[in-house]
Structures are given as C-alpha cells and as structure tokens.
Structure 1
Amino acid sequence: MGKHKLNIKDLSPISFPSEVAKSLALNLMNRHFKHTPNDEKLALITKVLADPDAYITHDTLSLLAHKLISKSVLETFKTYELDDEPKHFDIFGSKHIEVNAVQQMELAMRLPIAVKGALMPDAHQGYGLPIGGVLATKNAVIPYGVGMDIGCRMALSILDVPASYVEHHAYEIKQALGDHTHFGNDGGLDTRQEHPVLDHPDFQQTDLLRRLHGKAARQLGSSGSGNHFVELGIIEVGDDNTLGIESGAYAAILSHSGSRSLGANIAQHYTDIAMNKCRLPREAKHLAWLTLDTEEGQAYWLSMNLAGEYAKACHDQIHKNLCNALGAGIVKRVENHHNFAWKETLADGNEYIVHRKGATPAAKGVFGIIPGSMTAPGYVVSGLGNELSLNSAAHGAGRKMSRFKAKNSITMSSLKKLLQSEKVTLIGGSTEEAPAAYKDIELIMHNQTTLVNIEGKFHPRIVRMAKD
C-alpha cells in the first residue's frame, strides 16, 4: 500500500483547541502513520481530541495527548513573578561547583514559594533544579524539582559471603547479571516478576496510574539507561561502624535506578499541568509548582509516592533474583532515594516540602549510599543531621563532563585500558559514563565531612550498565 499524506486542508473539518495542536497532529500522522489511509488518520485524531487521557501513554500520540491536557487547564492558570533577589542558601564545596549550577539554584531561590535551600558538593547543571540542589517550600511541590526519574535510588545488599567470593565466582556473577538484569528505556526481564507493589491500591486512584499499571508490571525488576547500574563488588566495614554488622570485607550488590516509565510519565503529565496552571517567567517555567491543597497537587503527591514504592520494588527484585542465582543471603541492606520530595519538619518547627534533586537524605543517624564511578569507590554513610544542608548530602561524584562531551572526547580503547588496570569488568556501558566524566569522589567526600560519617567503602568489581 502506498503512502497516504495528510495536508492542513484535510484537517479543516476537525476543531482543534489551538494551531499548535493542529500542526502537531499533522506531523505525528505523517511521520508515524505513513501507510494508514487518511480517513483512518482523521478518525484517530478525533479520538485523541475526544479523550486525550486515553492516549497519555501511547508510543507516538502521547505528545498530542499531553498538549491537549495542558491546554484544557489554561483557563485556571495564575501568573507569578520572581523575587528580585534569591533567598540565602548554603553551598558545600563551592570551589568545585560550576557557576551555572549556582545560578540555577539562585533562580530557584527567587521563587515566591522557596523558603530554604542548599547546594551539595557534587552539584552540576540539570533541568529545573540543579542536580545536587535541595529546596524547601511551603505546601507546594515542583514536579521538575523532583525530576523525571522519580524515586531514583541506591540499594546495597551486603552478602553473607566473603570478599573473595567475587573473584572466585566471577563467571557465575557475570552469568547472573546477564540473566537477571535488564537495561534500557524499553522492555523488561524475560520472567514476569511478582511483588506486592503491583497490588498497591493507589494504582486505582487515577486514570493515569490505571493506564500505567500494565507497563509497570512488565518493567518491574529492570533498570534504565544513562548512569544506572548493577554491580557486584567488595565492601569494607570498619570496627567503628554503626550498621550492626561485624567489621571485615564482604561481597556486596550495589544498584542504581529509578521508577522507569511509570515515573517518567507521572513527571511529564504533572509538569505539563503545573506549567500551565502556574505561569512563571520563561527562564523559570520548569520550576512551576502544584500546591498540596489542590486536586492536582494531591494527585501528583500520591503518584510520586507510588513511583517511589515502585522504584524500591525494582531494586528488591534485582537483589532477590541475583541472591537466588548466586545462592547468597543478605546480612545488611541499605537504600535511599535521591530524586524525591518529603514532608519534613525542620529546626524552626515548621513543616516543609523538601525537594532533593540528586541529593541523599542525611538526617541524624540515617544511612545512605554515595557511589563514585565504575572504577571509583562508593561510600555507605550515616547522616549528621546538618540543618544548613537541610539534612542532605551528595548523591554521587557528580558529572564534570556532559554525556555529549564524554562521548566525543573519551575513546572506548582508553576506557578498556582503565578498566583493566583497575581490575573492573564492564558488561555493556559506554564512554558517556567513563570515570573521567565524573568528579573525584574523594574530593566530594572531603567537602561533606559536616554532613555524613563514613560507615563503609564499596569497591566495584563486575559492573553492568546499558550499552548507550
């Protein structure tokens, strides 16, 4: 069958809410439905216009659905101005933080809802808030302040086998990583996963969550792309640790990933709504917020927390499946979110919404994990409850080189030589995540001695990541 191309005149019988929506519909049809007859294209457009919510997770039509949903809330928007000067925020390790990350945090602190803020030593430029930015607001949540990968988190399982296990069973570990992990934006594990999170009642609370449930079930126990990883390595724990385990060197599993398509769709959906209900100057538009006394704010808060539970469930399955395959048990589990928002009461006695965009919770005595890179060590830490950092710490080494720059300046051969010299085996991965693209983790740790105590040191040995 030949190609069927729509033109703008073909759309004249259909009523669109805007010219932008009309142009988007035309482009989507002609790009992704080339071999579909025109009458079927027109019928499909009409269906999306009539019920955009039903297409919010469609592979190609979700763009049009999001645009239509955003348009539907325009009549209730409110315009806000930024404060003339940013409110004060503390910076940790300022000498090693790029200027544009500081400027991005300054912009966030000019929001009328901003109350307190802090910038972690691994900070670098991001979207909305900088990565490593911590922001406390009053009764308002910023979807982009949480981020697209809601509940992106770390999980460490210290195993009941000695450190030597990793070297002596390298073949079995690589086999288990190949069989029981999956990376990338699509797909999932070959075996359907079962976890109580799939029966969580909040999946039935909104139309969006009901539609996302099926894909969430398919992706359970899998990981994303970019800097997400699953590693087997060695953790050293000293005599003075407060983890409740004996000192020594143990084999351990360390994973880093988030809430997959579930979180991404929630983030995009509510960011669109926030940006249209809360109108800000162009440079700050991605910092649009939803107040928690609105229906949309409550729906986002519920959905965000469910995405966090789902992200945890993905790590649960990864660690469970690997332990079963290797015949190992877990002595101690440590885990934490670093893309999330919490209701927290700070030193002034007031409750705030604390956004941690690439930052680790570090309240007094709270355990967390701060990874380095595929060759650099990571650290298990306990928080010191520093009020100046809003009880937060760094979430990793932090990038010093963009993925584009890393890909174009680091060769795979140089990466392989480094891995060989460090005795690290990499499965998948790319130069975008090469150690040279990251800051020195030891420098980051040196700049947060007032934020955390070190409880253990993890050394990667066998690492699996997405290929690109």
Structure 2
Amino acid sequence: MPYEPLPVSTSKPVLSWANHNLASAELQMAKNVASLPFVYKHVALMPDVHLGKGALVGSVIATEDAIIPAAVGVDIGCGMAAIKTPFTADQLEGKLKQIRSEIEAAIPVGFNENKEADKAVTNWSNWRDFKDLHPGVQRLETKALRQMGSLGGGNHFIEVCLDTEDQVWLMLHSGSRHIGNQLAQCHINTAKELAKLANLKLPDPDLAYFVAGTDEFAAYWRDLQWGQNYARFNRDVMMNRFKKIVEKYLVGGKQIKPLLSVNCHHNYAEKELHFDKEVYVTRKGAVRAREEDYGIIPGSMGAKSFIVKGKGNHDSYCSCSHGAGRLMSRSKAKKVFTLDDLIDQTQGVECRKDTGVLDEIPGAYKPIEEVMNNQSDLVEVVATLKQVLCVKG
C-alpha cells in the first residue's frame, strides 16, 4: 500500500502508511511534529503508528540542524537481533522447557542484572569513553557493566522461532537498559530547560530540541551514539549466550555458524543522505530499510514475525515498521483480558502464562499481517517466523 497524505494544515506534510484513521490525540501529535520549523520535507508514519511521548511511535522525522531527544525516546538504541541456524524443528522436540529455564537462568530480565560482567563485556572498547558521558550518569558505570547482557522488561523478549521451512531461528528484542534511559532523561531535561530559557513556544514541551553547532547538541549526539552502540552490543552478548544454550541441547555444545545474522535498531537517530541533502533522521519505532538492508518486524508472542529486506523507498526515508504496534495500553489490556485469554492466545508457545505478562497478551497488539500488507512498497519478506518459545522481560 502506498502512503496517504494526512489532512493536516502544517508547514510540512505528514505521509502515513497506516490504513486506520488516527485518533484525535495521534493526529495532534503528528501535527505538532510537522509544524516544527526545522523538519525536513515531510514526516513519515509507519503502519504500526500509535501514541508516544512528544512524537508518535512509528514515526520517521528528518530534521535540518536540530534534533529532539524525546523523539528518539528513553530506550536509546532499542532494537532486534536474529540469527538463522542450521537446526530444524524436530531437533527441538522435548527440549523447549529445559532451554527456556536455562535462558532464564543465564540472561537477567526485568530490573535484574548480571552478578558479574563476563570477559566479552569488560573487553568492550567503548567503556573507555564512559568518562566523557553526561555527568549525571557517571555513578552508573558498574551498573551499566553488569546490565550489559540483560534483557530488561516491558515488551522485550527472547524467542526460539520456526520459519515456514521448519528451520530454527533465534530472536531477541532489547535496548540500552538503565544507562540509556538515564542518558536520555538527562538530555531531555536539558532541552526542556533551554526551551524555557529561550521562551520557545513549543506545541508540546516534549518537543524541546537541540540546535546543531551548540555544545548541548554535541554532548547529546556523542551520548546518543554511545547508547546506541551499547544497545547493539548488549544484543550481541545475549545472542551469544542464547546460541550457546541452544547448541548445548541440540548438538552437545558444538558451535554452529549462523546462516544469517541481523541486528537492527528501531529507536535511534543517524545522519543520512535523503533527497540529496544530509539530514538527521530520527526513527522512533521504525527500522531502516534501504535496498538490501535486512530488518526484523516482530508480531506479538502469539503471532508471526518477519525477517525483511528493504526496498529503499525514499518517501519513507528508507524505513519500515518495527512491529505490530499496540492496539491498547498496558493498563487497558489488564482490564480487558483474563489469564484464560492469555493461555488460549499463546497455545503451542513455551512461555510464562501468568498475570504478570497479561499486558503483553497478543490481543493487545495490532494484527501483524495487516501491518505487513500496508508496507509492501517498503520491504519484501525474506522469512516468516512463528515462535515456539518466548521469554518475556
């Protein structure tokens, strides 16, 4: 489905790949962003778009000489990793429960952290730049070290999946943990203070921004890149542990070579060239999808997920959706659904089936097939996956 321009009277148009009408609060959020003077060309909304903080989750915002820290969000570098293994479905038989329990023992979830950092973590070259990060996070170095290789909470997950050929894939979703959150909060607060001092008339205080060429912009950009690198490496560390556990149960610990590896952010900003101009591109709940870029678009824990290849659609700033997108808030999901609904909707999946994960029930998410149909001009599907094991954050 190609995009449709939204009927908004703003200085820059809003192009939407969603096939549903945006609610008034969502429409207002899109208008707020599109009315900012430094927004380049247009704002692009992905098919899984929904309410966020300051900017819609599922929006791609290209800007000239400015960046909005709250539009990048507080989970800097949040994203997905997946590997295709040479294993097949029959090798998993009777082993999923043990694999799940070993993953839960090896990879901390929620607010938990590793008791001590392993060698791969302490050897990460970017620790040497920690001292240059915002003064507000300097006390967190030990915590950042221990949380490297941990999942976090909310909608973060680790999954064993099967594709349509019954080939086994390993997949996970995580970000930059507490350190990324704290870096983001420090800079969002600075941006808001600057906006107040400058008497800026913003449509929403969460759209406070930094201007290129200032010390504040340079400090945020440096910390943002560090946080994004932390998030990517965090996924690598977990994937390595995850892969070892699966190898232990399937081939007695023999190391296998992945047939395909993908690791992509979906909450981040980069400098990119679009329509012959270098701009800052913020993807808030969106994946880069240039030609030949591989991406991961997960459904809920009872639905399909997709490995995709980008088509390089310039109108979307070479982007695609980052998932199914929430249909309802976490609190609403807890009111609407019961534990029986959760058990019913996660049939055939080795996962937690308790009220603690009720807010992550598949019914709280948009239908992923619909989301995929709406972006056939953005990506092609390389593999369709269905999970057989899910560990929730």
TM-score by length of 2: 0.89
* Secondary structure of 1:430 counterpart: helix
The answer to whether residue 109 in structure 2 is matched with residue 189 in structure 1 is: no
Gaps of 5+ in 1: 1-82, 237-247
Which residue in 2 is equivalent to 1:342? Answer: 270
Q: Deviations over 1:145-188 (max 9, x none)?
A: 1001000000001123123233342133113212212211x221
- Cα–Cα, structure 1 residues 457 and 84, in superposed 2: closer, same or farther, change >3 Å? closer
Cα deviation, residue 326, structure 1: 2.6
| 1:351-390 correspondence to structure 2 within 5 Å | 351-390=278-317
Cα distance in 2, alignment partners of residues 121 and 96 from structure 1: 11
The answer to whether residue 177 in structure 2 is matched with residue 265 in structure 1 is: no
Residue 20 (structure 2) aligned to one of 84, 89, 95: 95
Q: Is the 8 A contact 2:345 2:361 kept in 1?
A: no
Which residue in 2 is equivalent to 1:322? Answer: 242
Q: Say which structure, 1 or 2, has more relative contact order (CA 8 Å, 6+ apart).
A: 2
Residue 87 (structure 2) aligned to one of 151, 161, 168: 161
Q: Is the 8 A contact 2:19 2:374 kept in 1?
A: no
Cα distance in 2, alignment partners of residues 274 and 197 from structure 1: 30
Which residue in 2 is equivalent to 1:129? Answer: 55
TM-score by length of 1: 0.75
Cα distance in 2, alignment partners of residues 396 and 97 from structure 1: 18
Which residue in 1 is equivalent to 2:333? Answer: 406
Amino acid at match of 2:100: K
Which residue in 1 is equivalent to 2:227? Answer: 307
4+ residue segments displaced more than 6 Å: none
Q: Is the 8 A contact 1:412 1:430 kept in 2?
A: no
Q: Is the 8 A contact 2:112 2:152 kept in 1?
A: no
Superposition RMSD in Å: 1.9
Gaps of 5+ in 2: 1-7, 248-254
Cα distance in 1, alignment partners of residues 262 and 142 from structure 2: 29
- Number of equivalent positions: 369
| 1:227-306 correspondence to structure 2 within 5 Å | 227-236=155-164, 248-279=165-196, 280-281=200-201, 283-306=203-226
Which residue in 2 is equivalent to 1:54? Answer: none
Which residue in 2 is equivalent to 1:23? Answer: none
Cα distance in 2, alignment partners of residues 440 and 417 from structure 1: 17
The answer to whether residue 368 in structure 2 is matched with residue 451 in structure 1 is: no
Give the greater-gyration-radius structure (CA): 1
Identical amino acids, percent of aligned pairs: 33
* Secondary structure of 2:234 counterpart: helix
Cα deviation, residue 341, structure 1: 0.5
Cα deviation, residue 234, structure 1: 1.0
Q: Is the 8 A contact 2:115 2:146 kept in 1?
A: no
Q: Deviations over 1:76-105 (max 9, x none)?
A: xxxxxxx98341121102425444323211
Cα deviation, residue 292, structure 1: 2.6
Cα distance in 1, alignment partners of residues 89 and 227 from structure 2: 34
Cα distance in 1, alignment partners of residues 217 and 346 from structure 2: 46
